Amino acid sequence: MVANGRCLFFLLLFLSLSPSNSKPVANPQFPCKPPTHNTYSFCDKSLPITRRAQSLISHLTLQEKIQQLSDNASGIPRLGIPHYEWWSESLHGISINGPGVSFKNGGPVTSATGFPQVIVSAASFNRTLWFLIGSAIAIEARAMYNVGQAGLTFWAPNINIFRDPRWGRGQETPGEDPMVASAYAIEFVKGFQGGHWKNGTETESTGRHGIGQKRVLLGEDGEINDDKLMLSACCKHSTAYDLEKWGNFSRYSFNAVVTEQDMEDTYQPPFRSCIQKGKASCLMCSYNEVNGVPACAREDLLQKTRTEWGFKGYITSDCDAVATIFEYQNYSKSPEDAVAIALKAGMDINCGTYVLRNAQSAVEKGKLQEEDIDRALHNLFSVQLRLGLFDGDPRKGQFGKLGPKNVCTKEHKTLALEAARQGIVLLKNDKKLLPLNKKAVSSLAIIGPLANMANSLGGDYTGYPCDPQSLFEGLKAYVKKTSYAIGCLDVACVSDTQFHKAIIVAKRADFVIIVAGLDLSQETEDHDRVSLLLPGKQMSLVSSVAAASKKPVILVLTGGGPLDVSFAKGDPRIASILWIGYPGEAGAKALAEIIFGEYNPGGRLPMTWYPESFTEVSMTDMNMRPNPSRGYPGRTYRFYTGNRVYGFGGGLSYTNFTYKILSAPSKLSLSRSLSSKSRKRILQQGGERLSYININEITSCDSLRFYMQILVENVGNMDGGHVVMLFSRVPTVFRGAPEKQLVGFDRVHTISHRSTEMSILVDPCEHLSVANEQGKKIMLLGGHVLMLGDLEHFVTIQIY
């Protein structure tokens, strides 16, 4: 395979991924075994799911019902129903975090493919890649279920907005942009819930960018079947959750004060998309309060998912989030009140035991009715029925042939490698130091504690990877004479006692690669950062080694959170900077391929890298928009007005690109898309009179859509993938409007000195609208600007 044509490998990626013929070696527990399968109507596969769920509920006593309201749902032996664990995790591979997954119980599966952390995969800006990652993880999860090592319900993806760079779990998210987070949610959920199966058999055809074409789970009539699920994905954490522990503030008691404007255009879009377009079958409510009400008690938000978004699934609390309503937030007067409030608000299941311990008492005291429990059970059982849990032996079902041979397959490991390749971001490359010619490199020095730790490359919510490899091992495969020095005893780097050895190693080498950054000791669940600088004395280590090296050095940065590396950005002794984040089990090979020119980097940052001065901003301030009167700079590329170390969408390549806009309209008339009651409205802001239309008065948004046709030319000497990003800016000055906002993106493969045509769909109702202070979407009349690189295209929106 030629080095510069790697994206073509996806033409055959999944052709060998048909279900294994191996039989599972362990038995999963399941209901509706003979003879009960002919006794109860909830076992009758010919009946509608609603009727089967109602049948199951009708057979339960109140105590049995309550025992189903925990993640560890009790079995009902008299009905032949075993216990079920709802909590399994699959953020970027099958994880050890949830009790539903077990690698170490003597089962045949002892590891699973470790894909890059989500923030790294997001940097690829490749929708099809996200879909395929979800699909691959689903295959491994279902295979593990078939041998009794996993459940069917997984609590991923995390689609909260990476609002603050200090957040310890920002690494788990697709970044700071609500459109990117929404797109990731849609693709991952579709792939994970079974979008790659057709009539029970996996099929594949060529798709865009040489990556496998998406597939859908079809019914017998060939139509898309939203009822059937291969697995259940869960959109979390709803909503406005992005603080772990900062100062005296904790996620268990933090009250996120959010404006209606920010809720509409920042915090809620990923969840709306995950449910409406991704068809997720689970939603998780978060620990925090939202405007004074615990998220799991926000009836208006939880019910809205069903009444307005069409949600068909179950709502789980985060673990012990029901307990926090009383124990931490003091929102309720008693444990019984907390349980009743959450269930009546729309939560269906409590991760933890709080509901189990207090529901009976809540019913006896009249705070909770059995009908509230029945409603929750209907949602829970409906999802289990859609998963086929009550259809008998899963090994005889649609996915029954999946087994251990479908885990850690060559195809999945290749996909993990490609994800790492596409997600690594080149931030600096002075004098084109990279790529290195391995034939011209006589010796190589690798410096840094993270360089020789294979287990540090996964990030949080990681399992046991198939073939983990340290960065040192990956680089040593290219240069035989490669030496290593730890530099710091650990990532915290509180001592410089190891600097001297690192400097000696660096002086002897032809080229030097320094690995610095973050690991889970610095950022993770329940742990936020307080600084954006490199931890401890890492900065001093980098500068000392760079000063000692014969040639300018290469700096490799790990970790999910942004770093203020202004010192390195401006230091000519540090010629190249690569951000690899948490690249997963194949990250070492991907990094080596990029450094030695076998792969052309094309990743782009999915989050803003702020300077250290941003830490003066309170992490508890949820406002996205800037407020100059109090010196508040705003957040994310859409609103932030301060200096940046590196911007959203930043990233270099070994080649260069130019754009040409081939076609796009210059005017759009709304006259045929408005209802008879629609009218132009006037908004007075300062001395400006702004004309606008309410989006909900536009009757046909589809008729306004158009494609911008774009010509992308690779004007350099190397083939490579390139992310095309189209932004928009509203006309004139509208208070609270983004500085710019992403309209569309795509990743295209380009050939050296050749042009590639592509298009981006623009939906004016979605992409050219803004949220007003009341949280309502409006479309301003006048000239909107579409921005493509340095090019600008004006589109005037008018009524006539």
Report the distance separating Cα 231 and Cα 284, nearest Å.
Answer: 16
- C-beta neighbour count of 267 within 10 angstroms: 24
From its phi and psi, is residue 327 left (phi > 0), alpha (psi between -120 and 50) or beta? alpha
∠ CA 286-287-293, rounded to 5°:
95
Q: In this structure, which amino acid lies at residue 489? A: L
**Helix (H) or strand (E) run with residue 545 in it:** helix 538-548
| Contact (CB, 8 A) for 419 and 133 | yes
Question: 53 and 42 in contact (C-beta within 8 Å)?
Answer: yes
| Alpha-carbon gap, residue 724 to 706, rounded angstroms | 17
Tokens 């809205």 locate to 304
The amino acid sitting at 56 is: L
Q: What share of the chain is helix, strand, coil (3-state, %, to 5)?
A: 30, 20, 50
Nearest to 231 by CA among 104, 351, 306, 136: 136
Convert 700-730 to b/e letters by CB count within 10 Å (16 or more is b): eeeebebebebebebebebbbbbbbbbbbbb
> Which distant-in-sequence residues (6+ apart) come within 8 Å of 628 by Cβ?
641
> Residue 774's CB: how many other CB atoms inside 10 A?
10
Q: What are phi and psi of 596, to 5 degrees?
A: -100, 15
CA neighbor of 603 nearest in space, from 590, 588, 592 = 590
Region at 346 (left for phi over 0; alpha for psi -120 to 50; beta for the rest):
left
Q: Which two tokens stand for residue 345?
A: 């608000």
Please state the length of the chain.
800
The tokens describing 775, both together, are: 């949280």
State which H helix or E strand residue 725 sits in: strand 720-729
β-strand partners of 557: 516, 579
Question: Using alpha carbons only, what angle is made at residue 631 by residues 627 and 634, rounded to the nearest 5 degrees?
Answer: 50
Alpha helices in 563-603 (DSSP H): 566-569, 587-595
Backbone angles phi, psi at 316, to 5 degrees: -110, 150
Two structure tokens written together for 24 = 């599972």
- Rounded to whole angstroms, the Cα distance separating 180 from 125 reads 8
Tell me the residue ranges of DSSP E strands in 223-280.
234-238, 245-246, 249-250, 255-256
Q: Is residue 318 annotated as a catalytic residue, yes or no? A: yes
Maximum C-alpha span of the chain: 80
Selection from 148, 191, 101, 585 nearest residue 404 by Cα: 148
Which residue(s) pair with 76 in the sheet?
81
Alpha-carbon span 156 to 737, nearest angstrom: 31
List the catalytic residue out of 177, 318, 348, 571. Answer: 318
Backbone angles phi, psi at 421, to 5 degrees: -55, -50
Q: What is the dihedral of CA 260, 264, 267, 272, to 10 degrees?
A: 140
Please name which of 562, 608, 616, 569 lies closest in space to residue 739, comparing C-alpha atoms.
608
Catalytic residues: 318
